[in-house]
Amino acid sequence: MTDRETLKADTESPSSRRRFIWGLWLGLGGVALLEYAWLIADFLRPRKKLADAVEAIVVAGPVERFEPDSVTPFPQGKFYLARLEDGGFLALSRECTHLGCTVPWIADEGRFVCPCHSSAFDIRGDVIDPPAPRALDYYAVRIENKIVKVDVSRPIKRPAFDWDQVTRV
């Protein structure tokens, strides 16, 4: 091999490597741009609203099924249906307003107690013991033909219990 051929081979090698690296960077950059475009399109795409879903209304059952001063859990709707002493109904969210932990009803104590930080709520969802900053969220309740129905499409936030939140027969 002559000196000229050796020099030509040495100069072609870095150039082809450089082209390969540039091509690799351009390909990876293109893939990254496609990924960003997909994320933006996914973000802007309209979502199906829960209110449009069939399961947005939970049929709890006939009014007679619920004893006054009782709490009935509804796991499929993620709420408790409380029937107060006066016969009114209140559907309470199962999420603590402090950090969102699931709050169980303790019938022996007559209150909800959060297992995460010991917040306690009465049968109406009012805060008895902090650190929960406000009452449990509630859902709209309606009674049609003596059948209790709960709209779980969106919880309603409230600072405290109010008698206007109770649905009566």
What is the span of the domain harbouring residue 82?
A: 52-165
DSSP 136: P
Mark whether 125 and 157 lie in a shared domain: yes
**Is the model's pTM score more than 0.75?**
no
Per-block mean pLDDT, blocks of 10 residues, the chain (169 long):
58 75 93 92 74 72 95 92 96 94 94 94 95 95 95 94 92
**CATH number of the domain enclosing 67:** 2.102.10.10
As for how many domains the chain has, the answer is 2
Mark whether 94 and 79 lie in a shared domain: yes
- Run of H or E residues at 29: helix 3-44
3-state secondary structure of 84: coil
Mark whether 10 and 76 lie in a shared domain: no
Mark whether 98 and 68 lie in a shared domain: yes
